[in-house]
Structure 1
Amino acid sequence: MTAITASSEVIMHFTIKLEDGSVADTTHNAGKPAKLVMGDGSLTENFETCLLGLKEGESSSFTLAPEDAFGQPNPDNIHHMDRRHFGGETPAEEGAIIAFSGPQGQEIPGIVTAVTGDSVTVDFNHPLAGKTVIFDVEIISVQ
């Protein structure tokens, strides 16, 4: 059987869980596995390193510290914005996740963490930043 290398195409099911066992993301909800080309940037280098050497039919579980998963929260990614920029499809409500346009026109999701008077605090850190995660994988095929 073929083992995963730095250039493999991999079809796999995965689940990313937090330490309390809650599921942050899984391919099982969609009912179909994920297709990954190693090195294409869809997974971080540390997640890809976990997969190296696994073979078709194998399952494994890895615990990744925040630095090895989604990083630590960066205070520079927390922005205070004028409430006038919100409304309609972009409500200024705590917990709202809003897609903002980045400098190159890409969408960047931000989470509204506080609304105080005319100021809205938006956190652009990855929702899993600062968290230890458990990465469960089930390798379906390797090419």
Structure 2
Amino acid sequence: MQISKDTAVEFHYTLSEAGEQIESSKDGEPLSYIHGTEGMLPGLEKALEGKSAGDSFSVTLEPSESYGERVDDLIQRIPLKHLQGNTKVWKPGMTAIVHSNQGRHQVTIVKVGRFNADCDLNHPFAGKTLTFDVEVLNVREATREELAHGHVHGEGGCGHSH
């Protein structure tokens, strides 16, 4: 089956910039998404279109096709209690997850105070030309429930109630 609108896709990727590996899913769980529902970077989704399980390919994306250009002075003060991550102590340079009305965002901590942190709201990969090495593992029709929820469900369902 080929990747097309409303297919559930599972793939491994290795992400690099200028030949330097930044991150990889190979040591953990593969990434999964529903094709055509804006749940994936536009340039990567375009490259995945028409591929099948077992296909491997490489694609290089300009910032406009991935995380956008950096915006200078995109700093916001955020209460420490709203920062999520694997740490109790925040330090400049660390990344954290923040949930807002617009969804989940990855931010970089610039300065930490007693109750708040000044955070750079640019995605850490903004302004970078990125290369994705992709290995497609699985392609199938998304279920009605997955389409309604907008994401792929694991074997035990999706784990959240609606």
Describe how 1:1-143 pairs up with structure 2 within 5 A: 2-24=1-23, 26-30=24-28, 32-75=29-72, 77-79=74-76, 81=77, 85=79, 89=88, 91=90, 93-102=91-100, 104=101, 106-114=103-111, 121-143=118-140
For the residue of structure 2 that corresponds to 1:75, the secondary structure is coil
Distance in 2 (CA, whole Å) between partners of 1:142 and 1:67 is 27
* Aligned sequence identity (%): 25
1:63-122 superposed Cα distances (whole Å, 9 cap, x missing partner): 11111111111236323x39xx5599463x3213334452x2855332122469xx9642
Distance in 2 (CA, whole Å) between partners of 1:33 and 1:10 is 10
Q: Any gaps of 5 or more consecutive residues in structure 2?
A: 82-86, 141-162
Distance in 2 (CA, whole Å) between partners of 1:40 and 1:62 is 20
For the residue of structure 1 that corresponds to 2:135, the secondary structure is strand
Displacement of 1:39 in angstroms is 2.3
The letter of the residue matching 1:15 is T
Classify 1:142/1:100 alpha carbon distance in 2 versus 1 (closer, same or farther; 3 Å).
closer
Aligned partner of 2:157 in structure 1 is none
RMSD: 2.9
TM (norm. structure 1) is: 0.74
Q: Which has the higher contact order (CA 8 A, sep 6+)?
A: 1
Distance in 1 (CA, whole Å) between partners of 2:57 and 2:130 is 14
Larger CA deviation: 126-135 vs 50-59: 50-59
Displacement of 1:27 in angstroms is 1.7
Distance in 1 (CA, whole Å) between partners of 2:53 and 2:97 is 37
For the residue of structure 1 that corresponds to 2:20, the secondary structure is coil
